[in-house]
């Protein structure tokens, strides 16, 4: 500290007085600490760091000092201004952070309110089910074939060994296009697609046919005049019923899960020989409940018909039965959906009530 | 086919403890699927009771109940009379009735217990037939045992379960159409033996031995089929037997009536019941004629045009020339062969002499007659599916024996047996082929053993056998038929599971992928997928406002529709969607967005010839058949009713409008990268001022969308302003392109806004097209951002404000360049549409 300098203006000298500078710093620091908002801090900044603040004035005084005193005073004022500046900066950061946090709190909304401005639609689960089955078959290296719904009687029946006078033909409950003698029907199964595929593409052939079929059944809980079928047809050299069983087992596992139990039992279809029904072990009781309603206590649920392609079908479709054998199977997509989802009333599946689709996602 | 268990036991050894379910399980293994189990679904105590007192008490609810005391012997443990409230009063004090005591469980799981009712404690139930699962006996309510079992000595407390046959079981099975022989106890018994190895004795063997051979003294019969069907004579065997001196008072014994009832047939009269019994037992349909009404000879011939016959069901039928008839003397029709008898020759109450017919009719002839007359009978069902070709004489013999035994008749020694030889079916079989088809390596002697077991006779050795199937298996005609026999008798459960390796395919087709894309897009935009039956009525076309010459009116008609209101096939999907929308609205869902894709009829149909089974008709024929099938394009339709965006906490809702419907088209076009053209359309069923007609770039019509015509809305029972659209999905997917990438410019874009005044009739799409043309390649986008109509412009004009965005690939555009491009665009619009720039 320097000694008294009588040449100094007492007022101006007082601005550079160490005590006064300390006081100015203390005043500034407490004002900064006391600022509770960014606006407060702005006022504080003007008062303690602005052009007219005590420290700014003190700074200006330095120029008037004798050179010997300048260094010391400069250092003192510089330090003081540094402390105030640092404190301001720190407080500024604190207040900004507080403000930011406050804004986030203030801006909070109730995200549990349902944002239903644009509701999602839905695919129909029957079509989704068909797509899932198609994807499984495609994964096995098969292709998906399609055909018309109004179809020639020959593709629908005769080519498939349904003799015009055989009772099996009558049991199909066929819709005939008027006049019936023109030979057009609504297909009762997707099998005409099998005939068309064999005729167009020959053997070897691995195709799945998925589509809508029609029977003259009145709509009730378990019958529909129009429903969906998936059929498979493989024609190749050396195919056997074991290949048929293997394919169906794989399809059942993919659709209904690992551990599903299947069985073949003898049956009859004009287009296959030997023929079989494929049953699935009851999903509900597993074959343990004699009063089970799902399987009527038999322990088995009928899944679909199948068999080795009848040689008459191969012949009619210009495939050499001496060289090739084939297997075919068919099942209801709607039934598969019922098994998978527990849906019990078929009417709900076709009435188009939007509440039905809304039960499911966009994948089955 | 209903199979009473005790009847089945007569022909095959079934373990004593085996229940219906066990028998069904054995039969399903060999291909006879269980349809149901009947009977034995009741547990007692169900006892005989005598009504001691019956006090009728009228109730406030208008009913009158009977407060009864009933003597049930010691069955209730006390010997005291049982107090029971009964609602029916068709019995009196002193009557013997059936009482279900507390603890018994009636069919349907109905448990009986003592309960308080109408001010009494009712300890049990006096039973009616239906409550016990029995057919009604005509009593009109409570069973009176004196009427039902007149021949029985009954005492209160007797167990009523065996008395009423309630311990009896019937197994109902589904017989597939190839197994005609399983429409008999004999056939089912044989299959049970195949499944279980149980001992089976064919009853026909002994009957055939006992049946006398035909002789010249038999009733004269002539087979005169002048028009065999598909080369096959209608009747190839006719056995006629005569039994005289029948006791007209003889009635059907209980055991036979019970069996017939359980098998699903109604007892009628003793001779008729006997013919039915033989048919159910052995599988041969028989017919019995009153001998005194037949003068003879019996002539089997085809019907003549215009001939009529009144059948036993009291229907007068005009016959078709293909029908096979049994006639008296060649003139008077006695019956439709193999289907149903006629009223002439019918057995009556006074019949004392019958002629029993057991014939072999051709399945095709019978099937066609049954179909033409819509008359499926127990006989026709069997003949259509194939009756044992060597059963007639044995079946007639059983009928004769029963008529003698039960009706006191006397059999004529004169026997008619006309038989035309049948070409025997012999199948060439390489036994190893069976294993190759089934996938199980069967030993040769296993194959022959099984074929022997099912009744085949086998000649030959090594790799070639000649197999003659048994007469009851006319369905066995090819070696794969024999393969099925071997596989099913050996057991389908022995077939292993092998996943074949397919050669690998091309995946889903473009159409299949495209359909998924379209459906997912619609669902993502809020539409819910539906699918409807494709049947519509003529009235719908009027409701939709189709003009008289609208091609969508020309479609095909279903000959046998489910509903006469909807006999036509749809030519459009949108009406189906609107119908489903209406259903949703009526169920309380006010805002509905739906879509459906499906096939529609899209062209004329031809005549598709048919050819016999098992024959390739040749490429030309196949082409002709395929060409007759009408075009059936897949259409996609969508509709919205109510609000497109619902009201909610965010604010008010927004009603669906034409732009939502048309927006779907644009979204689809973008999704498939297809360039479309939208112009003003006026097609039904749309609002003529709010219909967008959509075409592909080459002018191919794709579809229409917009708001529905108000008249259509009210005709379809809708309200508000529904919107929708429909397009040909096949065409859209086929037009889908794979555009080439052009590289993205990183230089800044420049925009320029222009307001163009045009005549109100000028379409925005035309203005936009002209702007694009005029602006050239550097134009990146055009957006219509404002439309103004008002006083400043004057009547009949509107202002369209467009934002043009320009961008060059390798440099920054200068302002003057942008202005020049804009001016060129405006000039082009001016030339094309008369647009003037609004300053
Ligand atoms: Zn079950």
Each residue of A308-347: pLDDT tens digit?
Answer: 999 999 999 999 999 999 999 999 998 888 888 888 888 8
Q: Cβ contacts (< 8 Å) between B561 and chain A: which residues?
A: 175
Contact (Cβ atoms closer than 8 angstroms) between residue A330 and residue A230:
yes
Last residue of one domain, picked from the residues A76, A106, A136: A106
A341–chain B nearest CA distance, Å: 18
Residues A251 and A133 in one domain: yes
By mean pLDDT, which of A62-71, B431-440, B694-703 is the weakest?
A62-71
Q: Is A227 on the interface with B (CB under 8 A)?
A: no
C-beta neighbour count of B54 within 10 angstroms: 19
pLDDT at A184: 97
Residues A180 and A215 in one domain: yes
Whether B150 has a pLDDT exceeding 70, the answer reads yes
Residue with the bigger pLDDT between B670 and B61: it is B670
Whether A159 is covered by a domain: the verdict is yes
Q: Is A273 on the interface with B (CB under 8 A)?
A: yes
Q: Hey, are the CB atoms on A241 and B487 less than 8 Å from each other? A: yes
Give the Å distance between the CA of B28 and the centre of ligand 1.
16
Q: Cβ contacts (< 8 Å) between A161 and chain B: which residues?
A: 613-614
Interface of B with A in 211-240 (CB under 8 A): 230
Q: How far apart are CA A27 and CA A111, in angstroms?
A: 47
Whether A11 has a pLDDT exceeding 90, the answer reads no
Q: Identify the top-confidence range among A64-68, A337-341, B799-803.
A: B799-803
Could you give the C-alpha distances from B496 to A69, A249, A324, A329, in angstroms and in order? 110, 11, 20, 17
pLDDT at A12: 46
pLDDT at A151: 97
Q: What angle do CA A121, A126, A132 make, to 5 degrees?
A: 100
Interface of B with A in 375-394 (CB under 8 A): 381, 384-385
Q: Hey, are the CB atoms on B496 and A245 less than 8 Å from each other? A: yes
Give SS3 for A167: helix
What would the mean pLDDT of A49-63 be, rounded to a whole number? Answer: 86
B375–chain A nearest CA distance, Å: 13
Concatenate the DSSP letters of all residues of B513-547 into one string. HHHHHHHHHHHHTTPEE-----EE-HHHHHHTT--
Give the Å distance between the CA of B630 and the centre of ligand 1.
45
Residues A35 and A138 in one domain: no
Taking alpha carbons only, the member of A151, A314, A155, A322 closest to residue B615 is A314
Whether B521 has a pLDDT exceeding 90, the answer reads yes
Whether A188 is covered by a domain: the verdict is yes
Residues A230 and A337 in one domain: yes
Residues A255 and A227 in one domain: yes
Read off the tokens for B629. 């099938």
Report domain extents, chain B.
Answer: 2-39+169-201, 46-163, 208-419, 427-494, 510-735, 750-837
Whether A119 is covered by a domain: the verdict is no
pLDDT at B376: 94
Q: What percent of chain A has pLDDT over 70?
A: 96
Based on the number of CB atoms within 10 Å of its own CB, is B312 exposed (0-12), middle (13-18) or buried (19 or more)? middle
Q: Is B367 on the interface with A (CB under 8 A)?
A: yes
Give the Å distance between the CA of A347 and the centre of ligand 1.
23
Q: What angle do CA B540, B541, B543 make, to 5 degrees?
A: 60
Judge whether B485 is annotated as a binding position.
yes
Residues A246 and A282 in one domain: yes
User: Per the annotation, where are the binding residues of A for Mg(2+)?
Assistant: 273
Q: Hey, are the CB atoms on A152 and B626 less than 8 Å from each other? A: yes
What CATH architecture does domain B510-735 belong to? 2-Layer Sandwich (3.30)
Q: Is B436 on the interface with A (CB under 8 A)?
A: yes
Contact (Cβ atoms closer than 8 angstroms) between residue B463 and residue B477:
no
A vs B: CB pairs below 8 A? 319
- Which site among A191, A273, A296, A310 would you substitute to test the B interface, given the most B Cβ atoms closer than 10 Å to its Cβ? A273
Task: Name the fold adopted by B427-494.
Answer: Phenylalanyl-tRNA Synthetase; Chain B, domain 1 (3.30.56)
Residue A268's pLDDT band, with cuts at 50, 70 and 90, is very high
Residue of chain A with shortest Cα separation from B625: A152
Last residue of one domain, picked from the residues A52, A73, A106: A106
Contact (Cβ atoms closer than 8 angstroms) between residue B120 and residue B65:
no
Task: Name the fold adopted by B46-163.
Answer: OB fold (Dihydrolipoamide Acetyltransferase, E2P) (2.40.50)
Q: Cβ contacts (< 8 Å) between B374 and chain A: which residues?
A: none
Q: Cβ contacts (< 8 Å) between A215 and chain B: which residues?
A: none
Give the Å distance between the CA of A260 and the centre of ligand 1.
14
Q: How far apart are CA A318 and CA A198, in angstroms?
A: 8
Last residue of one domain, picked from the residues A48, A73, A106: A106
Read off the tokens for B256. 């036979």
Whether B625 has a pLDDT exceeding 70, the answer reads yes
What CATH architecture does domain B208-419 belong to? 3-Layer(bba) Sandwich (3.50)
Q: How far apart are CA A98 and CA A105, in angstroms?
A: 11
Residues A93 and A158 in one domain: no
Whether A113 is covered by a domain: the verdict is no
What would the mean pLDDT of A205-229 be, rounded to a whole number? Answer: 91
pLDDT at A346: 85
- Which site among B500, B573, B637 would you substitute to test the A interface, given the most A Cβ atoms closer than 10 Å to its Cβ? B500
Residues A311 and A245 in one domain: yes
Q: How far apart are CA B144 and CA B472, in angstroms?
A: 45
Give the model confidence (pLDDT) of B706-742 as tens digits. 999 999 999 999 999 999 999 999 999 999 988 888 8
Interface of A with B in 233-272 (CB under 8 A): 234, 236, 238-243, 245-247, 249-250, 263-268
By mean pLDDT, which of B132-146, B656-670, B803-817 is the weakest?
B132-146
pLDDT at A7: 52
B610–chain A nearest CA distance, Å: 5
Interface of A with B in 116-155 (CB under 8 A): 116-124, 126-127, 131, 134, 138, 140-144, 146, 148-155
In which domain, by residue range, is A70 found? 12-106
The neighbouring-strand residues paired with B428 are B466
Taking the model in full, what pTM does it have?
0.86
pLDDT at B129: 85
Pick A241's closest partner by Cβ from B439, B524, B625.
B439
Q: Cβ contacts (< 8 Å) between A154 and chain B: which residues?
A: 608-611, 617, 625
Whether A218 has a pLDDT exceeding 90, the answer reads no
Q: Cβ contacts (< 8 Å) between A198 and chain B: which residues?
A: none
Residue A10's pLDDT band, with cuts at 50, 70 and 90, is very low
By mean pLDDT, which of A61-70, A182-191, B385-394, B830-839 is the weakest?
A61-70
Q: Say if B46-163 and B750-837 have the same CATH topology.
A: no
pLDDT at A103: 93
Interface of A with B in 66-125 (CB under 8 A): 113-124
Q: How far apart are CA B645 and CA B652, in angstroms?
A: 9
Concatenate the DSSP letters of all residues of B195-234 into one string. HH---B--HHHHHHHHSPPP-TTSPPEEEE-SS-BTTB-S
pLDDT at B363: 94
Whether B175 has a pLDDT exceeding 90, the answer reads yes
Give the model confidence (pLDDT) of B288-311 as tens digits. 999 999 998 999 999 999 999 999
CATH code, B2-39+169-201: 3.30.56.10
Q: Identify the top-confidence range among A52-66, B127-141, B424-438.
A: B424-438
Residues A129 and A56 in one domain: no
Judge whether B346 is annotated as a binding position.
no
Q: How far apart are CA B320 and CA B394, in angstroms?
A: 32
Whether A2 has a pLDDT exceeding 80, the answer reads no
pLDDT at A14: 60
Whether B90 has a pLDDT exceeding 60, the answer reads yes
Read off the tokens for B412. 């004529």
Whether A296 has a pLDDT exceeding 90, the answer reads no
Mean pLDDT of chain A: 90
Read off the tokens for B737. 């392109």
Classify B750-837 by CATH class.
Answer: alpha beta
Pick B614's closest partner by Cβ from A166, A199, A315.
A315
Residues A220 and A347 in one domain: yes
Q: What percent of chain B has pLDDT over 90?
A: 81
Residue of chain A with shortest Cα separation from B367: A165
Tell me how many helices (H) and strands (E) chain B has.
23, 42
- Which site among A139, A173, A177 would you substitute to test the B interface, given the most B Cβ atoms closer than 10 Å to its Cβ? A177
pLDDT at A4: 47
C-beta neighbour count of A237 within 10 angstroms: 9
Residue of chain A with shortest Cα separation from B531: A350
Residue B109's pLDDT band, with cuts at 50, 70 and 90, is confident
Whether A120 is covered by a domain: the verdict is no
Q: Hey, are the CB atoms on B629 and A152 less than 8 Å from each other? A: yes
Give the model confidence (pLDDT) of B226-271 as tens digits. 999 888 999 999 999 999 999 999 999 989 998 998 999 999 999 9
Pick A204's closest partner by Cβ from B484, B492, B503.
B503
Residues A74 and A196 in one domain: no
State phi, psi for A319 to the nearest 5 degrees. Answer: -115, 135
Residues A148 and A28 in one domain: no
What would the mean pLDDT of B266-287 be, rounded to a whole number? Answer: 96
State phi, psi for B198 to the nearest 5 degrees. Answer: -65, 155
Pick A183's closest partner by Cβ from B498, B583, B609.
B609
The CATH number of whichever domain residue A174 belongs to comes to 3.30.930.10
What would the mean pLDDT of A24-45 be, rounded to a whole number? Answer: 92
Residue A284's pLDDT band, with cuts at 50, 70 and 90, is confident
Residues 6+ apart with CB under 8 A from A219: A225, A346, A347, A350
Report how many domains make up chain A: 2
Residue with the bigger pLDDT between A9 and B750: it is B750
Mean pLDDT of chain B: 93
What would the mean pLDDT of A206-213 be, rounded to a whole number? Answer: 96
pLDDT at B152: 79
Concatenate the DSSP letters of all residues of B242-279 into one string. EEE---TT----HHHHHHHHHTT-----HHHHHHHHHH
């Amino acid at each position: 500290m320097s000694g008294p300098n009588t040449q100094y203006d007492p007022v101006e000298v007082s601005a550079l007085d160490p005590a006064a500078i300390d006081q100015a710093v203390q005043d500034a620091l407490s004002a900064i600490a006391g600022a509770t908002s960014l606006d407060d801090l702005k006022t504080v900044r003007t008062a303690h760091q602005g052009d007219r603040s005590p420290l700014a004035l003190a700074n200006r005084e330095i120029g008037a000092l004798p050179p010997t005193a300048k260094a010391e005073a400069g250092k003192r004022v510089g330090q003081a201004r540094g402390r105030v500046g640092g404190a301001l900066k720190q407080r500024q950061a604190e207040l900004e952070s507080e403000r930011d946090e406050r804004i986030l709190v203030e801006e909070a909304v109730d995200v549990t309110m349902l944002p239903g401005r644009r509701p999602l639609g839905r695919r129909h689960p029957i079509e989704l089910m068909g797509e899932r089955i198609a994807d499984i078959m495609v994964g096995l290296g098969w292709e998906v074939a399609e055909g018309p719904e109004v179809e020639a009687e020959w593709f629908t029946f005769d080519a498939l060994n349904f003799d015009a006078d055989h009772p099996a033909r009558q049991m199909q409950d066929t819709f005939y296009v008027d006049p019936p003698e023109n030979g057009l029907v609504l297909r009762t199964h997707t099998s005409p697609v099998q005939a068309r595929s064999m005729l167009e593409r020959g053997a070897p052939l691995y195709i799945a046919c998925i589509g809508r079929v029609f029977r003259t059944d009145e709509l009730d809980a378990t019958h529909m005049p129009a429903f969906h079928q998936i059929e498979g047809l493989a024609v190749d050299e050396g195919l056997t019923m074991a290949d048929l069983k293997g394919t169906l087992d794989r399809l059942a596992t993919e659709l209904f899960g690992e551990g599903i139990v299947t069985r073949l039992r003898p049956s009859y279809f004009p287009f296959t020989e030997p023929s079989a029904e494929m049953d699935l072990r009851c999903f509900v009781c597993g074959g343990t409940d004699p009063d089970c309603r799902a399987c009527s206590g038999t322990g088995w649920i009928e899944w679909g018909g199948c068999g080795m392609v009848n040689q008459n079908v191969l012949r009619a479709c210009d495939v050499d039965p001496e060289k090739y054998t084939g297997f075919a199977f068919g099942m209801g997509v709607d039934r598969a959906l019922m098994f998978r989802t527990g849906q019990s009333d078929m009417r709900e599946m076709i009435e188009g009530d939007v509440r039905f689709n809304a039960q499911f996602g966009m994948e089955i | 086919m209903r199979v009473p268990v005790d009847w089945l036991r007569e022909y095959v050894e079934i373990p004593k403890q085996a229940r219906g379910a066990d028998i069904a399980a054995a039969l399903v293994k060999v291909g006879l699927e269980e349809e149901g189990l009947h009977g034995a679904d009741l547990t007692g105590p169900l006892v005989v009771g005598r009504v001691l007192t019956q006090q009728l008490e009228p109730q406030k609810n208008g009913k009158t109940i009977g407060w009864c005391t009933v003597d049930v012997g010691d069955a209730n443990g006390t010997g005291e009379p049982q107090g029971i409230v009964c609602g029916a009063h068709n019995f009196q004090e002193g009557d013997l009735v059936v009482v279900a005591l507390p603890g018994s469980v009636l069919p349907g799981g109905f448990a009986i217990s003592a309960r308080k009712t109408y001010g009494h404690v009712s300890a049990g139930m006096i039973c009616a037939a239906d409550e016990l699962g029995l057919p009604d006996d005509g009593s009109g309510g409570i069973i009176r045992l004196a009427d039902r079992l007149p021949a029985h000595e009954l005492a209160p407390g007797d167990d009523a379960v065996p008395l009423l046959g309630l311990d009896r079981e019937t197994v109902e099975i589904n017989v597939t159409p190839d197994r005609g022989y399983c429409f008999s106890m004999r056939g089912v018994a044989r299959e049970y033996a195949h499944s279980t190895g149980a001992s089976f004795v064919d009853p026909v063997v002994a009957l055939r031995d006992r049946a006398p051979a035909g002789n010249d003294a038999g009733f004269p019969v002539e087979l005169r089929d002048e028009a065999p069907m598909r080369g096959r004579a209608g009747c190839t065997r006719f056995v006629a037997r005569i039994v005289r001196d029948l006791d007209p008072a003889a009635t059907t014994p209980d055991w036979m009536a019970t069996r017939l009832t359980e098998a699903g047939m109604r007892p009628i009269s003793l001779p008729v019941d006997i013919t039915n019994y033989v048919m159910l037992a052995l599988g041969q349909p028989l017919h019995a004629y009153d001998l005194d009404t037949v003068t003879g000879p019996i002539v089997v011939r085809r019907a003549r045009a215009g001939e009529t016959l009144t059948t036993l069901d009291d229907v007068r039928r005009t016959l078709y020339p293909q029908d096979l008839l049994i006639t008296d003397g060649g003139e008077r029709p006695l019956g439709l062969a193999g289907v149903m008898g006629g009223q002439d020759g019918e057995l009556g109450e006074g019949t004392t002499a019958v002629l029993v017919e057991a014939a072999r009719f051709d399945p095709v002839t019978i099937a066609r007659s049954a179909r033409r007359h819509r008359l499926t009978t127990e006989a026709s069902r069997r003949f259509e599916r194939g009756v044992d070709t060597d059963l007639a004489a044995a079946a007639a013999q059983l009928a004769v024996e029963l008529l003698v035994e039960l009706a006191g008749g006397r059999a004529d020694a004169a026997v008619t047996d006309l038989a035309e030889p049948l070409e025997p079916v012999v199948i060439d079989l390489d036994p190893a082929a069976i294993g190759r088809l089934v996938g199980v390596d069967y030993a040769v002697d296993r194959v022959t053993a099984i074929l022997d077991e099912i009744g085949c006779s086998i000649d030959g050795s090594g790799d070639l056998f000649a197999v003659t199937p048994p007469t009851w298996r006319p369905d066995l005609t090819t070696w794969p038929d024999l393969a099925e026999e071997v596989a099913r008798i050996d057991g389908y459960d022995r077939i292993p599971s092998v996943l074949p390796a397919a050669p690998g395919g091309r995946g889903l087709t473009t159409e299949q992928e495209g359909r998924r894309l379209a459906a997912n897009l619609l669902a993502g935009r809020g539409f819910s997928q539906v699918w409807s039956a494709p049947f519509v009525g003529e009235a719908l076309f009027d409701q939709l406002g189709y003009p008289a010459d609208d091609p969508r009116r020309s479609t095909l008609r279903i000959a046998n529709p489910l509903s006469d209101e909807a006999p036509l096939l749809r030519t459009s999907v949108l009406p189906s969607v609107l119908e489903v929308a209406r259903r949703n609205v009526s169920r309380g869902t006010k805002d509905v967005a739906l879509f459906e894709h499906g096939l529609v009829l899209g062209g004329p149909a031809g005549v598709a010839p048919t050819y016999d089974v098992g024959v390739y008709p040749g490429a030309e024929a196949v082409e002709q058949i395929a060409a007759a099938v009408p075009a059936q394009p897949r259409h996609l339709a969508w509709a919205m009713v109510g609000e497109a965006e619902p009201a909610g906490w965010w604010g008010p809702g927004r009603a669906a409008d034409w732009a939502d419907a048309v927006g779907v088209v644009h979204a689809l076009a973008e999704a498939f990268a297809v360039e479309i053209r939208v112009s003003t359309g006026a097609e039904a069923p749309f609002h003529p001022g709010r219909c967008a007609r959509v075409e592909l770039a080459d002018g191919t019509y794709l579809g229409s969308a917009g708001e529905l015509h108000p008249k259509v809305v009210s005709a379809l029972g809708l309200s508000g302003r529904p919107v929708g659209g429909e397009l040909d999905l096949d065409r859209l997917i086929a037009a889908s392109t794979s555009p080439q990438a052009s590289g993205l410019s990183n230089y800044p874009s420049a925009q320029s806004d222009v307001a163009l005044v045009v005549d109100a009739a000028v379409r925005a799409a035309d203005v936009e097209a002209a702007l694009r043309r005029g602006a050239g390649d550097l134009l990146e986008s055009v957006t219509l951002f404002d439309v103004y109509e008002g006083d400043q412009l004057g009547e009949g004009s509107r202002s369209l404000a467009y934002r043009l965005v320009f961008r060059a690939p390798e440099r920054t555009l200068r302002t003057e360049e942008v202005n020049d491009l804009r001016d060129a665009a405006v000039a082009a619009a001016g030339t094309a549409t008369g647009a003037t720039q609004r300053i």
